[in-house]
Structure 1
Amino acid sequence: MHDHDTSERLASYADVLAGELPGTWTSSHLQPDAKDDLAELVDHIWDLDLVAASLAEHPLKQAAVLSRPDGAQLVLLDRHDARDGFLIAAVAPRSLPDEAYRAVPEPHGIALADDPFLSAEQIAGDLLARYYSALAQVRHNALDGIQPSQPDRVVLTWQPDGSVATAPADDRAGAILVAHGFVQDPQSGIYRLGGDDTRAQARALREIGPQLDALGIGTALQHPAARTLPTYAPASMPPVPAGPRTQATRTR
């Protein structure tokens, strides 16, 4: 197969895949002449297994990057074996410090068959779940007191200044949060709801619960002192008490 044919095949596969994954994804194609972008991408591929082994033997000459509005990214690359298909891996956020990744297991990539529709199901049921879990833990490590969320649960964490912060794993949850006054940091992906108006804050927290629950996403309201994963809380949360909260110390 000619390089042009291989390039077109990768780009077309990525376009279909982006439309089939849960949530809103777009795809972009990095061609061989984008050497600097490809080199930077390799540095952030979040894998020490299948994809890392492939890259060790076959330097990255092209790739397709799947991106979600909240900053989540996946990379699709050629599969250098006797089988048709591709490899896909998560991309680690560039904005978070290296220390935040310590002790967080890599969400290793997977091999895909030459069928983007079946592959989308495989990614959604495997790679994305592990990616979201790892991503939440890294954000937790990078920003003191932000408890990890999961694809089926949004964990809202009190902050010392009276605000509430969260790092949802689902962009549908992010849209609901923004609609109720949360503001997303474009670098970290953290959503924050200010505590200057406690009535408005309490109303927002009460209203997001049922809306998230309708999507099958639970909610939990946590103090930052607990470092373990929280239990589920009812979708309709009680009014917000005022006053400062104790900030957790960072552990590795």
Structure 2
Amino acid sequence: MHDHEASGRLASFADVLADELPGTWTSTHHPTTHKDDLAELADRIWDMDLVAESLTQHPLRKAAVLSRTDGAQLAVLDRHDERDGFLIAAVAPRSLPDEAFRGLHEPNGIALSGDPFHSAELVAGDLLARYDAALAQARHNACADIQPSQPDRVVLTWQADGSLAATPVGETAAAVLAANGFVHDPQTGIYRLSGDDTAVQARAVRAAGRQLDAHGIATVLKHPSGRIAPTATPPAPPSAAPPVPATARASATRGR
């Protein structure tokens, strides 16, 4: 079978499967030319069993991604054995920090036949149930790793990748954070400020601190409880640059 024929078969299967799964799903096809998308997808496959083994022997050349309205995603891949059909695996959300996955069992993928209707029943009764449970736990872990804010105080918590995060806050504080570059994740409610450019991050924190203070809302910088602080320097007030995390920039290892 020519590669374009196999690619079309995968896309068609994924389209029908998306329509048959419970809830609202859309299907996006990634052919061989989508190298960057495929590389990122392979890194986010949440599996340590059948699919992970397949990927070690057969690098991802094409795939289809099924996306649910709440952010959940499933990857449909070719099945490289003597049987007809495909593999399907859960995809770890990019919005959650690696620490959120620590200690969780991977919702390992399963093999599917070439029948999308029967496959939908298998996915709904097996993989999807395990995936939803793992997602709920990971999102809970992400929120638990961030210090809670209060109506008159916004707590910015350092993350291992150098970003800053705040738990759900009031409308006034939320508007200030968003105006200063904090990105809201609607799935977790967390506001996150990237640490890719620490100078930009520092200016954003100073500006947000001044604006929050004008509304009578204090700003506090903290490290997650139970984790080693990335610097011994105490948190700076909003009028000064925040300490730059150094030793905690390495992400926790997550099983793939």
TM-score (norm. length: structure 2): 0.59
Q: Percent identity?
A: 66
Q: Secondary structure at the match of 1:119?
A: helix
Change (3 A) 1:249 1:140: farther
Give the structure 2 partner of residue 223 of structure 1: none
Q: CA–CA distance in 2 between the matches of 1:103 and 1:144?
A: 14
Contact 1:96 1:188 in 2 (8 A): no
* Alpha-carbon distance in structure 2 between the residues aligned to 1:111 and 1:132: 18
Instruction: Report the CA distance between 1:60 and its aligned residue.
Output: 0.3
The question of whether the paired residues in 2 share the 8 Å contact of 1:64 and 1:75 is answered with yes
Shift of 1:69: 1.2
Matched, 1:80 2:110: no
Q: Give the alignment's Cα RMSD to 1 decimal.
A: 2.5
CA deviation digits over 1:35-85, x for unaligned, max 9? Answer: 011000000000010000000000000000000111000000000000000
> Who is 1:122 aligned against?
122
Q: Which is higher, the Rg of structure 1 or of structure 2?
A: 2
Q: Does 1:34 align with 2:55?
A: no
Q: How many residues align?
A: 164
Rounded Cα–Cα distance in structure 1 between residues aligned with 2:123 and 2:226: 32
Question: Which runs of 5 or more structure 2 residues have no equivalent in the other structure?
Answer: 152-182, 191-223, 228-256
Using the alignment, how far apart are the partners of 2:5 and 2:95 within structure 1? 35
1:65 aligns with 2:65: yes
> Residue 100 of structure 1 aligns to which amino acid in structure 2?
A
Matching residue of 1:216: none
Structure-2 change in CA distance of 1:186 and 1:82 (3 Å): farther
Q: CA deviation at 1:191?
A: 6.0
Partner of 2:188: 190
Q: CA deviation at 1:144?
A: 1.7
Q: Give the structure 1 partner of residue 91 of structure 2.
A: 91
Looking at structure 1, the residues matched to 84 and 184 of structure 2 have their Cα atoms a distance apart, in angstroms, of 37
Looking at structure 2, the residues matched to 52 and 73 of structure 1 have their Cα atoms a distance apart, in angstroms, of 17
Distance 2:104 2:50 in 1: 18
Distance change in 2, residues 1:81/1:98 (3 Å): same
Instruction: Note the C-alpha offset of 1:187.
Output: 2.6
Provide the TM-score with structure 1 as the length reference.
0.60
- For 2:188, the aligned partner's letter is I
Within 1, Cα distance between the matches of 2:184 and 2:26? Answer: 17
- Write the distance in 2 (CA, Å) between the matches of 1:65 and 1:161: 38
